Structures are given as structure tokens and as C-alpha cells.
Amino acid sequence: MQATAAITRFHLDHTTLSAQCLRLSPDHFCPWCRTIPETIEHFLLHCPSFHTHHTALRSRLSALPITTLDLPTLLAASGVHPSQQPAVLCLTCAFLRKTGQLQCL
């Protein structure tokens, strides 16, 4: 349930990631990268701290087969056949749980 709530917050662009909370904190950078804004896209696709999890997610998505890896795809918002949307969202939720960051979102 917590993972699906996080997916909904991603769709609404309403998370506790630093770049989305600028009004609450002047520091909007990724706590691991320090010089890159902590956005939803950075967290889900690019942050080197989660490279192992990104690689596993890409591998599992390619088995569907999903070849485009971008934010709309991970949120099953576009570029994903309706029959594959539940599987993509399940994999994205698994990524969130495995990173250990779910409670922070």
C-alpha cells in the first residue's frame, strides 16, 4: 500500500524529495550526489547510490519487453501497453521497497 501511495505522489509531483520541497528547505540537492537536484527522475533513474537497483529494474523491465526507460514508463503513464501497466507498476514499487527509501517518500 505504501508503494502505491508513493506512485500516486510521483504522478502528482508531490513527494518529500528535496527538489519537490523547495518551499520547506533551501537545500534541494540529492543527499548522496550533493550537486544534482533530488528529483523524482533522478531518484528513479539516475542516482548512483541506487545503481544496483536501477540495473535490476532495467533487467526485469526488459523481460516484459519494455525498451524505453524513462519516468512516464516507470509510472506506466505512457509508452506502456495497458496489459503491461500492472507489471510495470509492480516492478517500480519493488524498486521503491528495495532502495529502502519508501518511507522517506
Per-residue pLDDT of the chain (105 residues; tens, 9 = 90+): 677 777 767 666 656 554 444 444 556 788 889 898 888 899 899 999 999 999 999 999 999 988 888 999 998 888 889 999 999 999 998 998 999 887 776
Q: Which three cell numbers mark 18?
A: 528535496
13 alpha-carbon distance from chain centroid:
11
3: Cβ contacts below 8 Å, ≥ 6 apart = 92, 93, 94, 96, 97, 102
Is-contact 39 18, C-beta < 8 A?
no
Residue 13's pLDDT is 66
List, for residues 51-78, the tens digit of each pLDDT value: 999 999 999 999 998 888 899 999 888 8
Residue 105's pLDDT is 67
- Residue 39 CA: distances (Å) to CA of 42, 67, 83: 5, 22, 28
